[in-house]
Chain A
């Protein structure tokens, strides 16, 4: 095929995919909804949900997960383009680790030494370790699909951030069920789940989102 002929064909093709941000906005809410339904169908919310709604430790979990989800989601559309301009979102990714560290330090001061270990190990650490990645699969699949439709300059990096966003969203949903509210528990077990999904996102995106 001659290049001139190719250009003729390209000019005739008017199909224009939605911009990355718009595609994400259209698909991710459904993926998060699916994760929520999945949690309700399997584990259900914690029994004392209504009593703990105002508890500082319970609220802190959402503060941490959302402070990771929001910057990661803000950064993602830009990373999905050949010419990323992350801007302020990039720095905002540090917000969650800093908050988490502050929470851990406050908790260590608030609790007597003898209660550190029980608080960190919690009641269902393994369950948490399994549930966060499981709930993250649908959001991760949705965001990888969006990356595939786009053109990420660095697919692995974009996939890692997609994994952070998916993991953080999954952790937000899981926090409705989890009865371990200590920042010590969150810092260990939630982090492992989210980082695992981030690594999986990077690995997968490097394969499916090349263009």
Chain B
């Protein structure tokens, strides 16, 4: 994480991917008890990744990273369980599917993403799409949309914050 904070993008990406894998196993195991599907668990994984990213400045660099990471994950998991408590749902189809279907979606998303993204304005939506789904780097996006790089970065950052807020509100 220290190298990631210093601006090493490749290291940061590997770190997030490794964290996501560990989170996924944890979250699925814990939420299964509450009748959440793997797809819904993936939402919690994504919400946690967003929190790790947006709040990484609250990690004190002289301390170990893992306890901080665990604290963030725990906070998000508790949020998810609380929301579950208010609105427990266990559709029969899902139970059936998980009983019969061995192939589980690994990486998809239960929330209505187009609806989530519709809260962003058109430009921000396009930036998020290009950067995430298309995997373009900021410079390319800036050129394609004829914006300054700084502008793209600001837009991207703001969109991620908006997404995090939406997760908090509409999460599973």
Contacts and interface: CB of A to CB of B under 8 A. Distances in A.
Contacts, number: 107
Chain B interface residue count: which class?
35 or more
A16 B132 contact: no
Nearest to A152: B58
Contact of A3 (B63, B71, B107, B164): B107
A10 B49 contact: yes
B51 A1 contact: no
Interface residues of chain A: helix, strand, loop or mixed (majority) = loop
A10 B16 contact: yes
Interface in B111-152: 113, 128, 131-133, 135, 137-138
Interface in A1-39: 1-20
B87 interface: no
B160 A10 contact: yes
Contacts of B128: 9
Interface string B46-84: 100111011111111001000110011001000000000
B56 A16 contact: yes
B153 A8 contact: no
Interface in B1-52: 5, 7, 9, 12-13, 16-17, 20, 42, 45-46, 49-51
B172 interface: no
Interface residues of A, number: 30
Contact of A80 (B42, B56, B58, B107): B58
B72 A14 contact: no
Contact of B168 (A14, A85, A210): A210
B51 to A, nearest CB: 6
B155 to A, nearest CB: 10
Nearest to A78: B60
A81 B60 contact: yes
Report, nearest first, the 6 A-B pairs whose CB atoms are least far apart: A5-B132, A82-B71, A9-B132, A151-B55, A11-B13, A15-B157
